Amino acid sequence: MGLLGLHSSAHHIYATAGSLEGGHMGAGVYIVRSGKALRCRVGRSRESRTSLRVETGASYLALEHGRDIAAPIFILTDSANHLQELEDWVGPGKYPTLHSSKDGDIVRGVLEPLHQRVTLGFPTFFIKVRAHRDEPYNEAADRIASTATRDEDAPLLWNAPSGRIIYQFAPDESNSEDDSNVRHLQDPRVSLSTLRAMQTSSPNCDSPHTP
């Protein structure tokens, strides 16, 4: 950061982070230029509670805020997996699809403002920073993301179910839920043939579009 000369409020810098706490997902962004925060809760926690999903959500918040800034913006992330996923969409000879991405609902949101900035000639830089190394911008983003997981007033985004089948061990009858997409496994040693039969008998659900 220091070698790049980015420790200055003159630049448009967004430090991004995600958090998985208490069974919830949160995304946070620290805007260096203004000292303000962006945060949201990330949906589908029952389907896919991963660091990649929340980090992708944080990049969306940053890009949407900086979509129309006619100057370079710098997005800081400590997720190498997130950068690799974005790299798959850059350059000739690559044919990624949103359908093949588990977080295609969020990736679509990231690509739209990024494509707009590229079309308008506004540079956008993603920079990998090390996590938990007392980097002040990254630490600020971590705190914002952590707060988002507990803030019921933070907007809940990307919560429409994907339609994928969820396999889980059968809960207690007193705590059971009625969910047509959930298939309960009665024994952890369930056979492959049983799983295939369950998959075949499951309804075909289309993934709803989430803006």
Q: What was the pLDDT predicted at 143?
A: 97
Is there a contact between 74 and 11 (Cβ–Cβ < 8 Å)? yes
Identify the CATH class of 12-157. Answer: alpha beta
Burial degree of 202 (CB within 10 A; 0-12, 13-18, 19+):
middle
Q: What was the pLDDT predicted at 171?
A: 63
Residue 198 has pLDDT above 80, yes or no: no
Confidence class of residue 133 from pLDDT cuts 50, 70 and 90?
confident
Residue 170 has pLDDT above 90, yes or no: no
In whole angstroms, what is the distance from residue 100 CA to residue 136 CA?
35
Domain spans in the chain, listed from the N-terminal domain onward: 12-157, 166-200
Confidence class of residue 2 from pLDDT cuts 50, 70 and 90?
low
**Other CB atoms within 10 A of residue 86 CB:** 18
Q: Would you call 12 helix, strand, or coil by DSSP? A: strand
Dihedral in degrees, nearest 10, Cα atoms 193, 195, 196, 202: 150
Q: What was the pLDDT predicted at 193?
A: 54
